[in-house]
Amino acid sequence: MISAIGLIAGLGLLILLTMRGVHIIIAATVSAALVAITSGVAMMPPFADADAPDYVTAYMRGFTGFFADWFFMFLLGAIFGEVMSASGAADSAAKFIIERLGVRYAVLAVVAACAALTYGGVSVFIVAFSVYPMAVSLFRDANLPHRFIPAALCFGSVTFTMTSAGSPEIQNLIPIEFLGTTAMAGWRVSAVVAVLLAITGYIWLQRMVGRAVANGETFEGALGEHVERDEGPLPHPILSLVPLIIVLAAFNLTDDMLGKYALVLALGLGTLAALAIGWRHRMQMPKAFGVGATGAVIAITNTCAVVGFGTVAQLTPAFQQALGVVTAIPGDPLIGAAIAVTVICGLTGSASGGQTIALPLIAPGYIDAGVEPGELHRVAALASGALDSLPHNGYVVTTIRAICGETHARAYGPVGALTVILPLVGLVLAVGLFIIF
pLDDT, position 98: 62
Q: Are residues 331 and 408 in the same domain?
A: yes
| Integer Cα distance of 65 and 85 in angstroms | 31
Residue 133 near residue 81 (C-beta atoms within 8 A): yes
Own/partner pairs for 16-19, CB < 8 Å, 24+ apart?
Answer: 18/391, 18/392, 18/397, 18/408, 19/391, 19/408, 19/409, 19/412
**Same-domain check for residues 39 and 89:** no
Residues 272 and 388 in one domain: no
pLDDT digits (tens, 9 = 90+) for 283-310: 878 888 888 888 788 778 877 888 788 8
Q: Which residues in the chain come in under a pLDDT of 50?
A: 225, 227
Asked if residue 402 belongs to a domain, the reply is: yes
296 in any annotated domain: no
Number of domains in the chain: 2
pLDDT at 121: 58
Cα distances from 10 to residues 31, 43, 250, 314, in angstroms, run 5, 15, 42, 13
Check whether residue 347 and residue 396 sit in a common domain.
Answer: yes
Please check whether residues 43 and 84 belong to one and the same domain: no
The residue type of 239 is L
One domain for residues 48 and 87 = no
Same domain membership, residue 86 and residue 28: no
Q: Assess if residue 172 is contained within a domain.
A: no
**SS3 at position 42:** strand
291 within domain boundaries: no
Helices (H), 88-148: 89-101, 106-119, 124-142
Instruction: Kindly state whether residue 139 falls inside one of the protein's structural domains.
Output: yes
Q: Looking at the structure, do residues 252 and 352 belong to the same domain, yes or no?
A: no
Residue 302 lies in a domain: no
Query: Are residues 100 and 194 both part of a single domain?
Result: yes
Q: pTM for the whole thing? A: 0.76
Cα–Cα distance measured from residue 81 to residue 278, given in angstroms and rounded to the nearest whole number:
13
Residue 143's domain spans which residues?
Answer: 71-166+185-286
Considering the domain architecture, whether residues 162 and 282 belong to the same structural domain is answered as yes
56 and 108 belong to one structural domain: no
pLDDT of residue 201: 96
Q: Which residues fall within 8 angstroms of residue 405, CB to CB, at 6 or more apart?
A: 222, 223, 224, 225, 226
Please tell me whether residues 314 and 410 are part of one structural domain. Answer: yes
